[in-house]
Amino acid sequence: MNYHKKSSRREFLGEASCAAVSSIPLLSTLLNLRLAGDISAAEQPASGEYRALVCLFLSGGNDSFNMLVPREHAAYQEYRSSRANLALPPEQLIEIQPLNTGRFGVHHRMPELAALFEAGNAAFVANVGTLIEPVANRTQVNDNLKRLPLGLYSHSDQLEQWQTSVPHSRSGVGWAGRMADLLKDLNASQTVPMNISLSGGNVWQTGNTVAEYSITADGAAELTAYDPLFRSSEASRLRQVMSAGIDNQLAMTYSNLLQQTFVARKRAAVDAYSIFAEAVKSPLPEGIVFPNDSVGRSLGMVARAIQGRSAIGAVRQTFFVEITGWDHHGELLTNQEGMLLEVSAGVGKFYEFLATLNLQNQVTLFTASDFGRSLTSNGRGSDHAWGGNQFVVGGGVKGRRIFGAYPSLAVNPENGAEINPLDTGRGRMIPTTSVDAFFAELALWLGVSKSNLTRVFPNIGNFYASSSPGPPIGFLI
């Protein structure tokens, strides 16, 4: 854009100041003028008890049947036969001893996760996926006897459904956003929103009245760091003018509701930056050094935000960390092992941080991914599938257990008798645990009441009755 052609300095300042704030944290709230009333969903926690959820989203579809592998002889032979050249040999599996089922192995590049599991601080939830209603076998799928999620096996559709927990229609409102609509008033201050993203705008944390607060692995981003104008060749000449223009605009009182709201949102974003930047200034405890990779740096900043929670005024928070690159149609074994190594090391250090501050019972980290992957090989990798395995880490986790029903890994032949009713073809497993049940347990732990579960998960009634005395799955204490 050629700013020399603008007709007036006033016009220049108006457009420039809007550009300057267009991408600062809370961008998605600047134009979100939904003024719906807040809904209170929980009592004030006793003594201001803090709780947080950390979502580690493995974007692209993690091949999780190589992350968690059966080790009982018959089950392992079944796995080895189905996976062929994708199967891990026994020496590349770290054996774990679940308390509620037989022997399993964790990928050899995940020693920290295996250690957390054996210490009772981690659990797996097996064969989780999007479902509208329970599906028992491939006949129900092939004969259209059950309603199925939209865009099954599609990255964009399944990623959205994992973040919205609305499998029957498309939505731009996520389940963490709906939780924040209900719980945000528990926080003493609303300047820094309850939902914090290390991965920019996302559906998961977008609610009807809230949006995510976007930061980077280095902390809150200054206005100049986001504004492309400040990176242009005219940066040095325009910075001072821009700053003055923004200050003037923030100081004005507008009669128009739209303008008032717009400026209020900009002012809130500037205030949020100031508060958040100050809150995360303190160094982490001695000896807590996160790995210098994308997972480690992101979880390190989550740790700083949790450490500074009092300055932020937070009693309830969610954090979103997206790790991309899991769509391993080729070179699965080589590519996945490096990525799982980073996840395990980062999660291990994150738990060590929590334990150092005695916060391990107040923070729960969980994984999510678009879908599982086919058990059969396409030659050098695996393809899009359905159900997959996830893990949950925290002191509040009922650890050293595998929850849900880990499926038989037998693959049906293309023709002939059905060997495995859950295999829809090529080892694409029908989920035995719905994302609704998985997420509802996390939401209840964070503070959503059972009576409000349907506000957050419209589909939960097909998998869990709010009148039930027990939890949806049981992996949280």
* Rounded distance between C-alpha atoms, residue 253 and residue 38, angstroms: 26
Q: How many CA atoms lie within 13 A of 360 on its CB side?
A: 21
> Are the CB atoms for 424 and 430 separated by under 8 Å?
yes
**Taking residues 80-106, what's their average pLDDT?**
98
Count of beta carbons in the 10 Å neighbourhood of residue 331: 10
Q: Does 18 have pLDDT greater than 60?
A: no
Half-sphere exposure of 282 (CA within 13 A, CB side): 13
Inform me whether the pLDDT recorded for 434 exceeds 60.
yes
d(CA 31, CA 18): 12
**156 φ/ψ angles, rounded to the nearest 5 degrees:** -65, -45
Entry pTM: 0.86
Taking residues 92-98, what's their average pLDDT?
98
Mean pLDDT estimate for the chain? 87
Please give the average per-residue pLDDT across 158-175, as a whole number. 96
Residues contacting residue 476 through CB under 8 Å, at least 6 positions apart? 364, 392, 396, 397, 398, 441, 442, 444, 445
Task: Report the pLDDT averaged over residues 96-115.
Answer: 98
Q: What per-residue confidence (pLDDT) applies to 380?
A: 92
* pLDDT at site 263: 60
Lowest mean pLDDT among 140-144, 235-239, 375-379: 235-239
Percent over 70 (pLDDT), the chain: 81
- Structural domains of the chain ordered from first start: 1-33+222-279 (no CATH), 49-219+288-462 (3.40.720)
Mean pLDDT of the 157-183 span: 97
Angle at 404 between CA 398 and CA 407, to 5 degrees: 140
Distances (CA, A) of 214 to 99, 416, 443, 462: 40, 53, 22, 34
Q: What is the pLDDT of residues 35-77, one digit of tens each?
A: 333 444 454 566 679 999 999 999 999 999 999 999 999 999 9
CA 267 to CA 20: how far, in whole Å? 13
What would the two tokens of residue 298 be?
């992101």
Task: For 279-308, write each residue's pLDDT tens digit.
Answer: 999 999 999 999 999 999 999 999 999 999
At 160, list the tokens. Answer: 């959205």
264: confidence class by pLDDT, cuts 50, 70, 90: low
Lowest mean pLDDT among 10-24, 33-47, 68-82, 427-441: 10-24
Enumerate the β-bridge partners of residue 368.
57
Residue 395: the pLDDT is 98
pLDDT grade for 251, boundaries at 50, 70 and 90: low
